[in-house]
Amino acid sequence: MIVKFSKKEIDFLNNHLSKESEYFKLIFVENKEVEVDNDLADEIRDWAGEKQQIIGYDENYELTDLGKVLESVIDKLYH
* Phi, psi angle pair for 61, to nearest 5°: 60, 30
57-75 in b/e form (b: 16+ CB < 10 A) is eeeeeeeeebbebbebbbe
Q: Is the pTM of this model over 0.85?
A: no
Domain count of the chain?
A: 1
Q: What domain range includes position 48?
A: 2-76
Q: Among residues 12, 6, 63, which one has the least CA distance to residue 44?
A: 12
3-class DSSP state of 72: helix
One pLDDT digit (tens) per residue for the chain, 79 residues = 888 888 888 888 878 876 776 666 656 655 577 788 898 889 889 999 999 999 999 999 999 999 999 999 999 998 6
What single letter denotes the amino acid at residue 51? K
